[in-house]
Amino acid sequence: MLRLYNTQTRTKEEFQPLEEGKVRMYVCGPTVYDNAHVGHAMSALVFDIVRRYLQYRGYDVKFAMNFTDVDDKIINRASEKGVDPFDLAEGYIQAYKEHLDDLNILPATVNPRATEPKTMKQILAMIEGLIEKGYAYTVNGDAYFRVHKDDDYGKLSGRNLDEMQAGARIAVGDIKENASDFAIWKNAKEGEPAWETPWGSGRPGWHIECSAMCLHELGESIDIHGGGNDLIFPHHENEIAQSESFTGKSFARYWMHNGMLQLSGEKMSKSIGNLVTIEDFLKDHEGDVMRMLVLNGNYRSPLAFTDESISAAENGLKRLKSGFRPATAKAAGAETEALYAKTASTRDAFTEAMDDDINTAGALGHIFELVRLINASRDTGATDEQLRPAQNTLRELTSVLGLELKEKEGSGDTDKFINLLLEVRSEVRTQKLWALSDLIRDKLAALGVTVEDSKDGSSWRWE
RNA sequence: GGCGACGUAGCCAAGUUGGUAAGGCGCGGGUCUGCAAAACCCUGAUCACGGGUUCGAGUCCCGUCGUCGCCUCCA
């Protein structure tokens, strides 16, 4: 039985989709005005893992992740750079998609964008509907959501309007009826991207587009709505307010939020400036490293992003990969009862951990135990045939987590020459010419080839 | 100031309905080896602090201290 932590109730709840066997999930994607950083990667990875696990559990998952491709920041950035805002957004969208692919994140079922005609049509329909019902009003070409009209406003973030009023910085001379009201449509200035409406030309507010895309792609009520926990308020609160006021139905059943990535003890963010872009990270590390970092923690908790945690993730990956190595040269067979028992119990333990609100750290712990037993079995002489069932399970479970665990490969014919060199080297070794033997090993290491010697012969692999 | 989350070995961390603490990284020792590496084995915490409930609490309650997030754009 899968249980998920629901931000709205602050408890783990049994997962029960609206429609048997099907899951509709929506995750808030980035506003594309700059390079994405590893904090974005964390969020994308978390929900990729959730999605993969749901699929592993047999659900047919429809997964929507949007791109916010029109907003103030995009417009400002484009004007700074002297480029067209649509071109700017398009460039970052393509880069983001490539990053997701490099991180082995499954493509979303659909990637709606705010500026698409179908989205814009939905947005306008929503705003008009909200105005009709008295939940929204227009002023000077803007449209605002009337927060006080929504009785249960604040139910997700656990705030109430009175408390917020007390500490709120109320802008002087604001044209809004109330400081808490938020824009669902913004009047466009000269030269800004704009769409025509009965109350003037302009662009959608940030919150309304997500509501509209979610409604259009997945329907009035969805199963899971996700995003970073920095979106809980006001973004998701406002999404709920608009959507439920418009449809009169419950918007999302389960709200899932990932914790923030921490760099030097603080949330990684553009405004603080303490960020590492996904592009930079992937220059030095394979995608699995970032995923490993995420898997080793709890998705709801802050994640430490440090040199030490990164290298721990890298070494942990090596360890997982070690489980896939073939039997030793003179494997003669070994006792496998314990290994097979462990293989079966690992799958159960994995599922149990993941069922408990996607406890990846716990699941990973069980996988590591299986790896150790596989390696121990190999050391005592298990053959490839004997190792295979356990290795297959290892592959299956790590795949559910989205880990690729690829061995590096040489290019073209290099392997042939390396084998030749190692043949010569083994001849050198029988003559006990250790200095020459070690020289070859060192030089190969410098080229990325790790040579390991044992009494049964030498083996090598790309590192 | 308000709301929320968290505080487990050097680091990252797991811990079902309370019954004497997974796993990974690192450190140290060992087996193997000409050496190295890999793999395997051994080695470490009474769970921020102070109270309380209980036969028994990391696991429930209260308080204190600390860290982080949100309250403005933000994955």
pLDDT tens-place string over residues A295-326: 999 999 999 999 999 999 999 999 999 999 99
- Nucleotide with minimal C1' distance from the CA of A455 is B33
A3-280 and A316-400 have identical folds? no
Length A453 CA → B33 C1' (Å): 8
- Nucleotide with minimal C1' distance from the CA of A168 is B71
pTM assigned to the model: 0.95
- Mean pLDDT for A251-255 is 95
- Nucleotide with minimal C1' distance from the CA of A368 is B23
Domain A316-400 fold: Four Helix Bundle (Hemerythrin (Met), subunit A) (1.20.120)
Note the Cα A329 to chain centre separation in Å. Answer: 40
**Smallest Cα–Cα separation from A184: which of A142, A148, A234?**
A142
- Separation between Cα atoms, residue A381 and residue A387, nearest integer Å: 10
Length A12 CA → B18 C1' (Å): 19
Length A463 CA → B65 C1' (Å): 47
- Separation between Cα atoms, residue A62 and residue A22, nearest integer Å: 8
Q: Which residues contact A138 (CB under 8 A, 6 or more apart)?
A: A131, A144, A185, A199, A200
Q: Is A103 helix (H, G, I), strand (E, B) or coil?
A: coil
Cβ atoms of A323 and A371 within 8 Å: the answer is yes
Length A268 CA → B66 C1' (Å): 21
Q: What pLDDT was estimated at residue A168?
A: 46
Length A74 CA → B51 C1' (Å): 55
Length A312 CA → B10 C1' (Å): 13
CATH number for region A3-280 = 3.40.50.620
C-alpha torsion A167→A171→A177→A182, nearest 10: -80
- Separation between Cα atoms, residue A47 and residue A27, nearest integer Å: 8
Nucleotides of B under 7 A from a protein CB: 1-6, 10-16, 22-26, 32-41, 67-75
- Mean pLDDT for A381-390 is 96
pLDDT tens-place string over residues A172-214: 456 888 888 999 999 998 889 999 999 999 999 999 999 999 9
CA distances for A378 relative to A183, A305, A333, angstroms: 63, 35, 9
- Separation between Cα atoms, residue A322 and residue A292, nearest integer Å: 15
* Domain extents in chain A: 3-280, 316-400, 414-462
**Which position has the higher pLDDT, A411 or A436?**
A436
Does A22 score more than 90 pLDDT?
A: yes
Q: What are phi and psi of A220, to 5 degrees?
A: -70, -30
| Residue closest to sugar C1' of B69 by CA | A230
